[in-house]
Amino acid sequence: MRRKRFKKALALLLIVLILTPSSFAMGGGFKEEVIYAKLDYEGQPKALFAVNGFTKGFSGYDYGSYSKVANLSTSQDLDYDGKRVKIDAKDNFYYQGNLENEELPWLINMEWKLDGKKVNEEELLGASGHLELLFEINKNPKVESNYFDYYVVQSSFEFDVDQVSNLKAPEGTLAAAGSTKMVNFMSLPGKGGSYNLEVDIKDYEPGMVQIAALPLNLGINLDEFSDYTEDLKTLELAIAELNDGTQAFLDGLFQIKEGSQSFGYGGSSLTSGSGKLSGGLLELADGSQEFASGLGQYSEGMKEFSDGILELTSG
């Protein structure tokens, strides 16, 4: 049973999300796009997907190079000629495209060691000892630099409090949410990073690793998408929480490091809560509990988003 649970955890282990800002689409209305990737245990891409959403009333074409497309809103087949998808959205509409190019803008590498010896995921199941992780993010020279130069990469590693002790991450931020301990690493635009994590483990079952790449000025207007099927409602709510937590995190980070003005928020709910969230994040240097709470919210949003993505792909 534990091995079965572990296999399931591996399926969720590494997910990269790239949220793109809102944009007008030909034919009127807004288009939203989320690109997500499934990675292997060492951080290498296994598959890349795009989920494209359009507001009610959109009529026209969406262009993209996909090996496969799937309608996520209705049971109808999509009209795709290899270059463009024909869309006539009588209601808010979503479809998924499997990307042919499996290159990410970032080169991600993870090396896990147990008691000084490099181990694979199977060897970590139920293991006890001293676990070390070397986590690296670098620019991928095969991909245009726009994403690397202008996107923040937020990486979160989760651990069960009953299975770990002496958790250390010199380049990261530690937080807690219920029975979960989190280590968060931030890579700023145009910057790669090399991060180290050490922890003592007992009867260990690997937790979630979530990596999100977001532009500095998110323009995601989720209010435009409110009438999805049940699976897509789950996805929408997950994106909303992810957007909320990440906007607040970035706002506090850049106020502390740059002394700049707060970034604007894209919706009324974000605006109404920004004062409290930003105030908590500004106390980061003093070990603010508000900051840890914000990271908890971010992690929960990422977890719900991951669940939504996996529910869609498995369906």
Structure tokens at 48: 């890349």
User: What does the alpha-carbon distance between residue 301 and residue 241 come to, in Å, rounded to a whole number?
Assistant: 5
Least reliable range by pLDDT among 24-33, 64-73, 229-238, 306-315: 229-238
CB 92 within 8 A of CB 228: yes
Q: State mean pLDDT over 4-16.
A: 44
pLDDT value at residue 33: 82
pLDDT value at residue 296: 52
Count of residues in the chain: 315
Q: What is the dihedral of CA 211, 217, 222, 225, to 10 degrees?
A: -100
User: What does the alpha-carbon distance between residue 186 and residue 175 come to, in Å, rounded to a whole number?
Assistant: 14
Structure tokens at 53: 């959403």
Per-residue pLDDT at 135 exceeds 60: yes
Write the burial class of residue 154 (CB in 10 Å: 0-12 exposed, 13-18 middle, 19+ buried): buried
CB 300 within 8 A of CB 241: yes
Structure tokens at 149: 């130069």
Name beta bridge partners: 93: 54
Measured CA distances, 146 to 63, 150, 152, 190 (Å): 19, 6, 12, 9
pLDDT value at residue 102: 79
User: What does the alpha-carbon distance between residue 310 and residue 315 come to, in Å, rounded to a whole number?
Assistant: 8
Buried b (16+ CB within 10 A) or exposed e, 72-95: bbeeeebebeeeebebebeebbbb
pTM: 0.64
